[in-house]
Amino acid sequence: MDERPVYLDYAASTPVDPQIWDFMRDLSARTCANASSTHAAGRLAQSVIADAADRLAALLHTEPRKLIWTSGATESDNLAILGGARYRAHRGRHVVTMRTEHKAVTDAFARLAAEGFDVTWLDPDPNGILDPNVFAAALRDDTQLASIMFVNNETGVMQDIDALGGLCRERDILFHVDAAQAAGKVRIDLEELPVDLLSLTAHKFYGPKGIGALYIADRPGCHVEPLLFGGGQQRRIRPGTMPTELIAGLGKAAEIATERMDADLRHLAAMRDRMWTGIADVGGLLRNGEADGFPGILNVSAAGVEGESLLLALEPLLVATGSACNSTNQEPSYVLRALGRSDAEAQSAIRFSFGRPTTGQEVRFAVERYRAAVARLRELAPGRAA
């Protein structure tokens, strides 16, 4: 294989499926109308959006009327957490989440704390799992909202959403799930799961960037205050002109994901297992997160290796590191620190994430490159001073 980039960062974003580009392009040629317009072209846009909602609802096993379009998971998370807590603030001001949530969630909770809400931050066990007993113990009479992610974006760890949601439902607590890494990838049945609010984004499952959705259950006390104002669209929960093409793209991505989910999961598991099998004997490696989590993610720390140098030595592999990896912030991953990893372990972590287009040849190349990079950097490093 030549030195072309090998993309193994599908947890960060996925390429848009060519079928979806074609679908969106064709739609764009058919109508430019605002879906709020009442003329024929506007009604066509409305019908396109309704079709997309049907497709997404089918993926999630829910009803289209329970879906709100947003700009992506960050907005959905913010709308659910800020909007949900504010809506229920007259009942109580205690909210619960985990330290290993995505920044879109943790920063929203930090905002709630600044507004006077009492935030409980829960730690997972060393495998990244939140014990339902720990969760139950954190819930109080004044708890109004809890937010737990479905699949962790760094480790692939999957939480027991059914059990955690059940604990909330028993206590009439709003339960939000950040499903940015789960939607379109693992089965989500909102007819069965006790989830009140669920966030997702299209670009994690081969749809376009800039479009997401928030599911809002239809039950008493389950509502969110809007974050935006200025129109009557989407029941005023999320006003603004709806991006017809992007919504259609999300809907098409949902349709494809529904059809391919089982095959995708088998493929991802095969790629992840091939990767891990290929490097497991390197020595001094630490797999971060439970082994039977979401199969699209493999997170590995390497003792004696500096993370930023490892990332550069791995080129042309395009992977994510355990640190924020920008020139002004190289803090070790707070997610891995919450799992009990040392700074050095977290800093040396590499997240390999696989996708529908990943090939066995790419994984073999990644194995070779990882083994060589770790060996070279270990050889280069001096021992500890006596």
Partner 1 sequence: MTAEPYSARVRELFAAPAHAGDLKSGQSAQVEAQDLRLRLSAVTSDGAIATMRFRAWGCPHSIAAAEAACNALEGQPVAALLEFSAHDLMEYLSVPVEKTGRILVLEDAVRSLGLKFRDGP
Residue 268 CB burial class (10 angstroms; 0-12, 13-18, ≥19): buried
**Which of 4, 39, 90, 384 lies at the binding interface for partner 1 (CB under 8 A)?**
384
* Closest to partner 1 by CB, 258 or 330: 330
Nearer to partner 1, 161 or 374 (CB): 374
From candidates 330, 334, 364, 371, binder to partner 1 by CB under 8 A: 330
Q: Rule CB under 8 A: is residue 312 a binding residue for partner 1?
A: yes
- Which one, 224 or 314, has the nearer CB to partner 1? 314
Contact region for partner 1 (CB under 8 A) — 98-106, 129-137, 260-268, 300-308? 300-308
Of the candidate residues 92, 240, 304, 340, the single one contacting partner 1 (CB under 8 A) = 304
For residue 36, how many other CB atoms are within 10 A of its CB?
14
Cis peptide bond upstream of 132, omega within 30: no
User: Under the criterion CB under 8 A, does residue 327 sit at the interface with partner 1?
Assistant: yes
Shortest Å distance, C-beta 311 to partner 1: 8
- How far apart, in whole angstroms, are the C-alpha atoms of residue 60 and residue 185? 11
**374-381, Cβ contacts within 8 angstroms, sequence gap of 24 or more:** 374/282, 374/302, 374/305, 374/310, 375/282, 376/313, 377/304, 377/305, 377/306, 377/309, 377/310, 377/313, 378/284, 378/304, 378/305, 381/304, 381/305, 381/306
- Taking CB under 8 A as the criterion, the residue among 227, 308, 371, 375 binding partner 1 is 308
Q: CB under 8 Å to 48, separation ≥6 — which residues?
A: 27, 31, 35, 244, 247, 248
List, in sequence order, every residue forming a beta bridge with 95; answer none if it has no partner: 119, 145
Looking at 2, 90, 116, 326, which residue binds partner 1 (CB under 8 A)? 326
325 is catalytic: yes
Binds partner 1 by CB under 8 A, chosen from 36, 120, 309, 342: 309
Contact yes or no for 100/153 (Cβ under 8 A): no
Please identify, among the stretches 135-143, 180-188, 252-260, 376-384, the one whose residues bind partner 1 according to the rule CB under 8 A. Answer: 376-384
Per CB under 8 A, 342 contacts partner 1: no
Interatomic CA distance for residues 110 and 299, integer angstroms: 27
User: Please, what is the minimum distance in Å from the beta carbon of residue 150 to partner 1?
Assistant: 26
Specify the residue, 119 or 318, whose C-beta has the smaller distance to partner 1: 318
H or E element: which one contains 258?
helix 244-279
Please report, as ranges, the residues that interact with partner 1 according to CB under 8 A.
304, 306, 308-309, 312-313, 325-328, 330, 377, 379-382, 384-385
Question: Which residues have a catalytic role annotated?
Answer: 325
